[in-house]
Amino acid sequence: MYLEHFGMQEMPFSITPDTSYFYSYGSYQEALNVLLVALRSGEGFIKISGEVGTGKTLLCRKLLNTLGDEFVTAYLPNPCVTPAGLRMALADELGVRYARNMGQHRILNLINERLIDINASGRRVVFLLDEAQALPDDSLEALRLLTNLETEKSKLLQVVLFGQPELDERLAQNKLRQLRQRVTFSYHLRCIDRDGLSGYLAHRLLVAGYHGKPLFTNDAMESLFRISHGIPRLINILAHKTLMAAYGRGASNAGNEHVTLAAEDTEHVTPRHQWPLTPLNIGAMLVGGLALALVLWRWSAS
């Protein structure tokens, strides 16, 4: 496609959560720091929330790769499971062997024994759940009960919930107040701001093998930020299509016109007929409004 044209080794704006593309900037580095501090202090529940496309899964993968040998991790990417399914998933992740027809009480005992063994070896167990807003209420309660497993001095299981803002709404329910009170650390991911956009684009291009002059013009970055609202997934989709458009026209860099073509080909972004609110366009709208008013006045007076 455009890799050879721009001198890259791989696609820089894939939406796959590749941790080599993690951008240590602003909200994302802060969230990672909060997670590391909370886990190393032995806290029970930690919550990370963020809108769709803000990079929660990438952050989760980054955390998994960052935690050292002192942690044993269990990961559940799709937590839309029953309480029994939740316990079985945790048992599988911890390498607990059990018969598929075994009773839940016995499975819970095996999990507890495994957690005690890991704790005795000087390590901690972290259970990470992505898309946690999809957990049914009874599974959330089962998750809370799992964190009751503890020694006299420490929790045997720490839990990190990654979810959309709907997770906060779920936890606000009175029936889940016990779990809500156990969330000792929480952080809300923010979108990339305008100052961070140029660094974000440059970082991903560098990881992909690009070493040339700035590939996106300032006008292109302004449009890209306005259309994407700083949401990483939308930035990636639009930037990828922008480079495709630039390549298709034989351009050596990506300009505003290429971003416009990308936006026209992408659903759920700023409509192509919507003007940016620059002083020039505001003036044009005012002039147009006055002209329309004058026409209507003459029509009514005739």
25-64 per-position pLDDT tens digit: 999 999 999 999 999 988 789 999 999 999 999 999 999 9
Residue 297 lies in a domain: no
Reply yes or no on whether the pLDDT at 19 is more than 50.
yes
Q: Mutual orientation of helices 256-264 and 218-228 as an angle, nearest 10°?
A: 30
Q: Which residues make Cβ contacts (< 8 Å) with residue 246, sequence separation at least 6? A: 2, 253, 254, 255, 258
Q: Which one-letter amino acid corresponds to residue 216?
A: F
Paired sense of beta strands 183-188 and 71-76, if any: unpaired
Split at pLDDT 50, 70, 90, the class of 289 is very low
Say which DSSP state 274 is in: P
pLDDT tens per residue, range 145-174: 999 888 767 889 999 999 999 999 999 999
Q: Which residues make Cβ contacts (< 8 Å) with residue 141, sequence separation at least 6? A: 83, 176, 179
pLDDT (0 to 100) of residue 43 = 77
How far is residue 280 from each of residues 7, 271, 276, 284, 285, measured CA to CA in Å?
A: 37, 19, 10, 6, 9
Determine whether 296 is exposed, middle or buried from the number of CB atoms within 10 Å of its CB (0-12, 13-18, 19+).
Answer: exposed
pLDDT (0 to 100) of residue 76 = 96
Q: Which residues make Cβ contacts (< 8 Å) with residue 17, sequence separation at least 6? A: 55, 57, 58, 60, 61
Which of these ranges, 152-166, 198-212, 260-274, has the smallest mean pLDDT?
260-274
Residue 281 lies in a domain: no
Half-sphere exposure of residue 211: CA atoms within 13 angstroms, side-chain side: 2
Rounded CA-CA distance 70/52 in Å is 32
Rounded CA-CA distance 149/146 in Å is 6
Which of these ranges, 136-145, 169-178, 286-295, has the smallest mean pLDDT?
286-295
Residues 163 and 218 in one domain: no
pLDDT tens per residue, range 65-90: 999 999 999 999 988 899 999 999 99
Residue 246 lies in a domain: yes
Here the tokens at position 2 are 């455009």
Determine whether 200 is exposed, middle or buried from the number of CB atoms within 10 Å of its CB (0-12, 13-18, 19+).
Answer: buried
Residues 87 and 138 in one domain: yes
Residues 218 and 184 in one domain: no
pTM of the model: 0.85
Residues 116 and 134 in one domain: yes
Split at pLDDT 50, 70, 90, the class of 270 is low
pLDDT (0 to 100) of residue 273 = 42
Place of tokens 């992909």: 208
Q: Which ranges of the chain would DSSP assign to H, the alpha helix?
A: 3-6, 26-40, 56-66, 83-93, 104-120, 137-146, 166-171, 177-182, 194-207, 218-228, 232-248, 256-264, 279-301
pLDDT (0 to 100) of residue 300 = 43
pLDDT tens per residue, range 105-132: 999 999 999 999 999 999 999 999 999 9
| Residue 216, beta-bridge partner list | 254
Residues 109 and 233 in one domain: no
Residues 211 and 175 in one domain: no
b/e code 186-196 from CB counts within 10 Å (16+ = b): bbebbbbeeeb
CATH number of the domain enclosing 125: 3.40.50.300
- The residue from 154, 188, 222 where one domain ends is 188
Reply yes or no on whether the pLDDT at 17 is more than 90.
yes
Q: How many CB atoms lie within 10 A of CB 205?
A: 21
Count up the domains in the chain and report the number: 2
b/e code 216-255 from CB counts within 10 Å (16+ = b): bbeebbbbbbbbbebbbbbbbbbbbbbbbbbbeeeeeebb
Residues 122 and 248 in one domain: no
Reply yes or no on whether the pLDDT at 93 is more than 80.
yes
Residues 30 and 146 in one domain: yes
Residue 54 contacts residue 166 (beta carbons within 8 Å): no
Residue 54 lies in a domain: yes
pLDDT (0 to 100) of residue 138 = 95
Which of these ranges, 99-103, 140-144, 150-154, 271-275, has the smallest mean pLDDT?
271-275
> Residue 111's domain spans which residues?
26-188
